[in-house]
C-alpha cells in the first residue's frame, strides 16, 4: 500500500473534534452529496438469484441489468455467510490496529483509506478463503454475460485474458466524517475492470448515477454487488454499460467495502468482440489496446 499525504484516519480523528474537514476534502457544489442526491429514494437495482434453475432467465436478467443499469446484486451465490462475515471482521480489526502496526501503506481515493495488500495473517487467510469462492462466481457471471450477447459461453472470458484474468482484492475504509454533506469517500468514476464484485458492510454509501441524478443503492446483507467495468463495455461494443458510481461517507459510522476487480493481464489487448461489430448497424466504438495502456491513459486523463 502507498500513502499520499496525511493518513485519512488521523485526519478523521482531528476533524471530529472541530466538526469540520480540511478544505481539500470539500467537493465542488455540483459534486456535494447534500445538493446532488435524490433524498428519500433508494434505487431498486436488479437483484438476481444466481441459484435459479432457469439459466435462460438468469442470462436475460443479467444482460438486461448490464445494459440498463451497469449494476446489479446477486444473492444465493454460493459463498457461505460466515466467509463474508469473517472477511468483514478481520478487515475491520486491521484498521483498528495502532497506526505503527499498520506498516503497509494505504492509498486514499478520497475521504478513505485503500488497502490492497496487507500482511496481517488473519486478514490474509480470510481474504484467501473469500477469493477462492470468487473464481467460480466470476466464471459464471462472465459466461452469462457472454450468452446475453449471443456469444459462446467462454468468449468474454477469453477476450478478457482467459485463465490469466487477474482478481485484485482491495479494502476501502471510510472513517466517520463530520461533514458528509460536503465530502465524498470516492468521487464519481467508472471502474477500469471487466467486472467488479463488491461486498460492503452495513453502512450505506454506494451511489449510482441514473438519468443524471445520484441515488443510494439499497444494502442487502450478504449480497454481492456487481459493477460492469470499462473493459466489459469495450468488449460488448457499448451494449453493456460501465456504471458511473461514487461513495458517500457517514457522520457517525465507519463504512468499509471489499471490491474485487477482474482485470485483464497488463499486456493483454482488449477491444470490441468482432462478432458484435456490424459495419453499418453497429461499427466499432472503441480502439483495441493493451490493458496497461488503457489504465495509463485513464489514470492520467488522456484520450483513449
- Active-site residue flag, 77: no
Of 224, 228, 204, the residue nearest 214 (C-alpha): 204
Half-sphere exposure of 126 (CA within 13 A, CB side): 24
The active-site residue out of 170, 227, 241, 268 is 170
Q: Which residue in 173, 235, 180 sits closest to 31, CA to CA? A: 180
**DSSP category for residue 286:** S
Catalytic-role residue among 140, 189, 218, 289? 189
**Active-site residue, 92 included:** no
In this structure, the dihedral spanned by the alpha carbons of residues 232, 257, 126 and 98, taken in order and rounded to 10 degrees, is 140
Length of the chain: 304
Q: Copy the grid coordinates of residue 70.
A: 451497469
Measure the CA dihedral 199/94/5/21, to 10°. 70
- List the catalytic residue out of 77, 143, 157, 191: 191
What radius of gyration do the chain's Cα atoms show? 19
- 245 classed as catalytic: yes
Q: Is residue 251 annotated as part of the catalytic site, yes or no?
A: no
- Would you name the residues annotated as active-site residues? 170, 189, 191, 245
Amino acid at each position: 500500500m502507498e500513502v499520499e499525504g496525511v493518513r485519512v484516519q488521523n485526519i478523521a480523528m482531528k476533524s471530529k473534534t472541530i466538526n469540520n474537514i480540511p478544505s481539500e476534502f470539500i467537493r465542488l457544489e455540483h459534486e456535494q452529496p447534500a445538493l446532488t442526491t435524490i433524498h428519500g429514494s433508494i434505487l431498486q437495482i436488479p437483484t438476481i438469484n444466481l441459484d435459479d434453475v432457469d439459466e435462460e432467465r438468469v442470462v436475460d436478467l443479467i444482460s438486461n441489468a448490464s445494459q440498463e443499469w451497469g449494476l446489479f446484486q446477486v444473492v444465493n451465490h454460493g459463498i457461505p455467510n460466515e466467509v463474508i462475515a469473517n472477511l468483514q471482521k478481520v478487515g475491520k480489526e486491521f484498521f483498528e490496529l495502532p497506526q505503527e502496526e499498520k506498516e503497509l501503506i494505504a492509498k486514499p481515493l478520497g475521504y478513505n483509506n485503500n488497502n490492497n495488500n496487507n500482511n496481517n495473517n488473519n486478514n490474509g487467510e480470510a481474504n484467501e478463503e473469500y477469493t477462492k469462492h470468487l473464481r467460480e462466481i466470476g466464471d459464471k457471471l462472465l459466461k452469462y454475460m457472454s450468452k446475453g450477447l449471443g456469444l459462446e459461453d467462454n468468449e468474454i472470458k477469453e477476450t478478457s485474458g482467459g485463465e490469466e484474468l487477474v482478481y485484485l482484492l482491495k479494502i476501502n475504509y471510510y472513517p466517520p466524517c463530520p461533514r458528509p454533506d460536503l465530502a465524498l469517500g470516492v468521487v464519481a468514476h467508472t471502474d477500469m475492470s471487466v467486472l467488479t464484485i463488491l461486498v460492503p458492510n452495513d453502512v450505506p454509501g454506494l451511489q449510482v448515477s441514473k438519468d443524471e441524478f445520484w441515488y443510494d443503492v439499497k444494502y442487502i446483507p450478504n449480497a454481492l454487488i456487481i459493477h460492469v467495468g470499462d473493459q466489459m463495455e469495450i468488449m460488448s461494443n457499448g451494449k453493456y454499460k460501465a456504471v458511473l458510481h461514487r461513495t458517500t461517507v457517514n457522520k457517525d459510522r465507519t463504512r468499509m467495502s471489499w471490491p474485487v476487480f477482474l482485470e485483464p493481464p497488463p499486456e493483454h489487448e482488449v477491444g470490441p468482440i468482432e462478432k458484435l461489430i456490424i459495419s453499418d448497424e453497429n461499427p466499432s466504438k472503441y480502439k483495441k489496446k493493451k490493458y496497461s495502456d488503457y489504465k495509463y491513459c485513464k489514470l492520467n486523463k488522456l484520450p483513449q
